[in-house]
Chain A
Amino acid sequence: MPTVTVNGTPVTFGENEKLNCVQAAQRAGMEIPHYCWHPELSVVASCRMCLVEVGDVKPDGSVAMQPKLFPGCQTPVKDGMVVVSNSPKVETAQKATLEYLLLNHPLDCPVCDQAGECGLQDYSYEYGRGYSRLDEPKNLKPDKDYIGEQITLFTDRCIMCTRCVRFTREFSGTGELQVINRGSKEEIDIFPGEPCDNKLSGNVVDLCPVGALCSKDFLYQQRVWWLKGKDSACAGCSNNCSIRIDQNNDTVYRVVPRPNPRLQAGGHFMCDDGRFGWKYVHSENRLTQPSGPGGVTDWTAVLTGVRETLVKGAAESPKRVAAIISPWATVEEAYLLCSYLKGLSPDIRIGLGPVRVVGEDDTYPKDPAGRPVEPVRFTIRAEKCPNRRGVEAVLQHFQGTILQGSQLVKAAGAGELDVVYVLGGDPELGYSDDDVAALSRVKTLIVEDLLASPLTRAATYVLAGGSWAEKDGTIVNHQGLAQAIRRAIRGPGDARQDGRILSELAQRRGLYHATTVRQELAGVVPALAALIVGDLGDEGIDLTGPAAPVATLQTAGSSN
């Protein structure tokens, strides 16, 4: 195997693998500091933070180093190459580059959103000289809050890495951002009246290594060191982009994408719908307590009532009992409800709730006129729910077929049902007024959901469930990747995560523990057998992979 030596450590790489020095160092767990380089963007090698010494091992074993420094991001590693990033020469260059970058930098850290997660702070501390020798006034540049609806620019904090510009040119393709002026007078800007409002715009905030591009939504809300992060996946569409939920005191402040090689663009990016679309989590309209007939708001009493209704219905006329499971439910929740109801009676029918599809898949890059450009690098899915495939796999197993919830709504309207259990979770509800009218005709309507809605107002029992940020479970994306979502915050008031509600309804022993349920269902539902590992790791588990029973899951998906 080809081998490169980085700071004395041998690093092997594949015959046809293209690695630059930064990546080779990463492979050995070492950092070569870098700003302008990003794995999903073109190489410009302009920040010069990543300078290294390179050389070759000669046949006689001696090492011949090149006299010049080279940018590690631009320099591919070759077999027998030697890369040094910690020599006095490199360290001098690193100090110089950082002194240059800080020269005109305002050192706003106390009031800068990026402080605490800032590339300039971190590298200055690690590689910098500690003080500036600039005696002259710094350049002053105007702040630009017009950059985008979601984005604001603190112009003089910019280190001109052009990541943001390259992102809009190469990735979103929309090209709104540009560099104006020349030399140290340069600024990032937009064309007048053409703000950066594309659906991927929020990514430039993450890409910005410093506090220049900031999210208006997050601005001045929190110091980042107060935030506690939980790895999760976005529920905004069937991509399930890997994310981290950042919260403090049960309030979500932001979500950011989390690299995942199994996702498009390596999981480095997410769309603005996902990034900013979770605000319903803290909506005034959240259900904060359960309720049942006679003004009961006590979980035990309400769940007992629900259970008795279901048991009685199943015993008397199971065909008149039905449930509808939203594609917003986790695999575990779908499994808990299915196994419980089918255990009461195999004749209870269970359908798939509304799968919201909005427009068509939205691909990037686009050209500035908005037309899609090949090759596609990012698709925002038209299917606006996180777990159709997972819920379908469970339904397929328990019922042999996937019954559409709409048929059950129709049956309710036709007076054919007595008891209906709606497991919701879609913040947009997904049921029309006519659907609600139809469901209202049943004797007992049980609605487990997030937000108060016409449906909950029509319900006999309302179970205040949890948002995606409040629950542990599994969701399966459009390509069959199962990822864990994690409980980052507690829900409002007396709301509970749905897994716990369903566990208690089914009178399972012990507290709800997603991993236990996940492993249990893996043994029951063959299409989900790969979940037996329990811990899905950072990247999730590919259910279509060779280890999983491909055919079963694909049938489940395609029967819709």
Chain B
Amino acid sequence: MPKCEPVLLARVGKPDSASLATYQRDGGYEAFKKALKMSPEEIINEVKTSGLRGRGGAGFPTGLKWTFLPKNHAGPIYLAINGDESEPGTFNNRILMEEDPHQILEGIMISCHAIKSNTSYIYLRVEYGKSYRVLKQAIEELYAAGLLGKNILGTGFDLDIYLHRGAAAYICGEETGLIESLEGKRAWPRIKPPFPAIEGLFRKPTIVNNIETMACVTHIINRGADWFKSMGVPPDPNNPRDAGSYGPKLYCLSGHINKPGCYEIPLGVTSRELIEEYGGGVPNGRKVKAVVPGGISMGFMSADELDIPLDFNGPGKAGCLGLGTAAVVVVDDATSMVDVLFNCARFFAHESCGQCTPCREGTAWMQKILWRIRSGQGELRDLDLLTEVAGSMGIIPGTTICGLSDGAGWPVKNAIQKFRPEFEEFIKSGKKVIRHAEELMAAAH
């Protein structure tokens, strides 16, 4: 795969890259000015034509989502930006927010014009202190420069952007959990319909988009839909539901890798390319055992599946849930999949919001079973039980309200299916691998 000229990360690491001055010096806010001269429909069409799909995890076509808003609505319409970034392994939003906030803000401003919104909220993961400070400063600069507020640049367009620090839970990133949390409530995802585009924040039409999605919008308006579409992978003819995977993507590479980091690559790079060409391979001469394609809720690819392209359609071919956030976590062959899976299960049991019975109970149960297995008390039939539990949870079987539950079940299903001999061997060995510190922590919870 040829390396491409970074666009989203172009300014990252440059001196004072977060300031309005340097951003404008580098041509910033020209796209916004261009957009103000376009009609909302023209912008939506441009975004649609570009093939941009949401970068937050679900990969929903962005332009199409915008068209779900009611026509001729009296307003207010809200744009809620999802900066909750809590999917394990994911840190691309953080880099954008800390290093180049203005390309995000410009995307928000363009998108608001497109969807006829005068108010946008950025919902920010509370742990991201630096992102908060940088974004806050950037927004203040925009108000001072007359680029936010009333009658922007004399066009009659009004826009306010509010920065909201989140409530420190993974579920606050689920779009309707985010909306509830923004409203000051417990982040319990809402049942759909109504979808947010019809009835969202404060019961008004609302679009929820990811931070990286917004950065892409800036560049699509700047460089045109054709530029965006020149990168990536066209729709898979064998999958009628695949809308193609276009544009650059920020892949987060972490785990057992020599050069972890955030890499901007056109969609469709394979795990092997990522690991070998970008990440400098696995440390200590070890081999890859498994790869998480896009945050742990997407499941696992085995070492045999490293040549599958990481586009929106690829991971599904390996039985994974999807591309997710494109956060690639490498697991080397010295690591126990039993431990890896336990860690995943612990995360989801801790993060399940707890309203749906299957998710609330299933996540905690899977954690308990895996704990028992790791304490040397496992039985072979536990593997079938885990698979059954994992399969009975989620919006895909239709047993829950949001996708957290699918994401909790998927790594379990993948791991047991793809690494079953390792699990069996471990159970038969009767080994106890729980460390004293873990026991203390479990007792404290």
How many Å lie between the Cα of A44 and that of B401 in the bound state? Answer: 9
Cβ of A46 within 8 Å of any chain B Cβ, yes or no, is yes
Q: B360 touching A136 by the CB < 8 A rule? A: no
Interface mask (B147-168 → A, CB under 8 Å = 1, otherwise 0): 0000000000000000000000
Most buried by B among A51, A96, A103, A181: A96
Interface residues of B in 352-367 (CB under 8 A from A): 352-358, 360-365
How many Å lie between the Cα of A69 and that of B358 in the bound state? Answer: 13
How many Å lie between the Cα of A48 and that of B169 in the bound state? Answer: 23
A69 — which chain B residues lie within 8 A by C-beta? Answer: 397-399
Q: B360 touching A160 by the CB < 8 A rule? A: yes
Most buried by A among B349, B350, B352, B354: B354
Q: B400 touching A44 by the CB < 8 A rule? A: no
How many Å lie between the Cα of A71 and that of B399 in the bound state? Answer: 8
Q: B368 touching A51 by the CB < 8 A rule? A: no
Cβ of A93 within 8 Å of any chain B Cβ, yes or no, is yes
* Interface pairs (13), CB distance under 8 Å: A46-B355, A46-B356, A68-B398, A69-B398, A69-B399, A97-B399, A104-B364, A133-B385, A160-B360, A182-B351, A183-B352, A183-B353, A183-B360
Cβ of B58 within 8 Å of any chain A Cβ, yes or no, is no
Q: A183 touching B349 by the CB < 8 A rule? A: yes
B360 — which chain A residues lie within 8 A by C-beta? Answer: 100, 160, 183-184, 186
B287 — which chain A residues lie within 8 A by C-beta? Answer: none
Q: B372 touching A162 by the CB < 8 A rule? A: no
- Shortest C-beta distance, A396 to chain B (Å), equals 50
Cβ of B29 within 8 Å of any chain A Cβ, yes or no, is no
Q: Give the number of chain B interface residues (Cβ < 8 Å).
A: 33
A15 — which chain B residues lie within 8 A by C-beta? Answer: none
How many Å lie between the Cα of A179 and that of B351 in the bound state? Answer: 15
- Shortest C-beta distance, B235 to chain A (Å), equals 22
Q: B358 touching A46 by the CB < 8 A rule? A: no
Assuming the A-B contacts A44-B191, A74-B191, are A184 and B357 also in contact, with contact meaning beta carbons closer than 8 angstroms in the complex? no
B44 — which chain A residues lie within 8 A by C-beta? Answer: none
Interface mask (B186-229 → A, CB under 8 Å = 1, otherwise 0): 10000100000000000000000000000000000000000000
A179 — which chain B residues lie within 8 A by C-beta? Answer: 186, 354
B445 — which chain A residues lie within 8 A by C-beta? Answer: 185
Interface residues of A in 8-64 (CB under 8 A from B): 43-49, 51
Q: B398 touching A183 by the CB < 8 A rule? A: no
Contact of B369 among A51, A74, A101, A136 (CB under 8 A): A136
How many Å lie between the Cα of A68 and that of B362 in the bound state? Answer: 19
A329 — which chain B residues lie within 8 A by C-beta? Answer: none
**A interface: dominant SS:** loop
Cβ of B371 within 8 Å of any chain A Cβ, yes or no, is yes
Cβ of B396 within 8 Å of any chain A Cβ, yes or no, is yes
Q: Which residue of A lies closest to B187 (CB)?
A: A182
B362 — which chain A residues lie within 8 A by C-beta? Answer: 100
Q: Which residue of A lies closest to B190 (CB)?
A: A44
Contact of A160 among B357, B395, B399 (CB under 8 A): B357
Q: A184 touching B396 by the CB < 8 A rule? A: no
Q: A135 touching B372 by the CB < 8 A rule? A: yes
- Shortest C-beta distance, B413 to chain A (Å), equals 15
- Shortest C-beta distance, B407 to chain A (Å), equals 14
Cβ of A512 within 8 Å of any chain B Cβ, yes or no, is no
A44 — which chain B residues lie within 8 A by C-beta? Answer: 191, 355
Q: B349 touching A184 by the CB < 8 A rule? A: yes
Cβ of A533 within 8 Å of any chain B Cβ, yes or no, is no
B361 — which chain A residues lie within 8 A by C-beta? Answer: 100-101, 103-104, 184
Contact of A100 among B357, B371, B398 (CB under 8 A): B357
- Shortest C-beta distance, A176 to chain B (Å), equals 15
Assuming the A-B contacts A46-B357, A100-B361, are A51 and B401 also in contact, with contact meaning beta carbons closer than 8 angstroms in the complex? no
Q: Which residue of B lies closest to A46 (CB)?
A: B355
- Shortest C-beta distance, A284 to chain B (Å), equals 48
A184 — which chain B residues lie within 8 A by C-beta? Answer: 349, 352, 354, 360-361, 363-364
Q: Which residue of A lies closest to B349 (CB)?
A: A183
Q: B353 touching A182 by the CB < 8 A rule? A: yes
Q: A43 touching B353 by the CB < 8 A rule? A: no
Cβ of B119 within 8 Å of any chain A Cβ, yes or no, is no
Contact of A68 among B365, B368, B372, B396 (CB under 8 A): B396
List the 10 shortest-distance A-B pairs measured between CB atoms, nearest first.
Answer: A69-B398, A68-B398, A184-B364, A100-B361, A136-B368, A46-B355, A183-B352, A186-B354, A96-B392, A183-B354
Q: B365 touching A103 by the CB < 8 A rule? A: yes
Most buried by B among A45, A135, A183, A185: A183
Q: Which residue of B lies closest to A161 (CB)?
A: B357
Q: A93 touching B349 by the CB < 8 A rule? A: no
Q: B365 touching A51 by the CB < 8 A rule? A: no
A47 — which chain B residues lie within 8 A by C-beta? Answer: 356-357
Q: B398 touching A70 by the CB < 8 A rule? A: yes
Cβ of A159 within 8 Å of any chain B Cβ, yes or no, is yes
Q: B399 touching A183 by the CB < 8 A rule? A: no
Most buried by A among B385, B395, B399: B399
Q: A49 touching B354 by the CB < 8 A rule? A: no
Interface residues of B in 385-443 (CB under 8 A from A): 385, 392, 395-401
Assuming the A-B contacts A46-B401, A136-B372, A183-B363, are A97 and B191 also in contact, with contact meaning beta carbons closer than 8 angstroms in the complex? no
B353 — which chain A residues lie within 8 A by C-beta? Answer: 182-183
How many Å lie between the Cα of A101 and that of B398 in the bound state? Answer: 17
Q: B397 touching A68 by the CB < 8 A rule? A: yes
Q: B398 touching A96 by the CB < 8 A rule? A: no
Q: Which residue of B lies closest to A181 (CB)?
A: B354
How many Å lie between the Cα of A533 and that of B400 in the bound state? Answer: 50
- Shortest C-beta distance, A47 to chain B (Å), equals 5
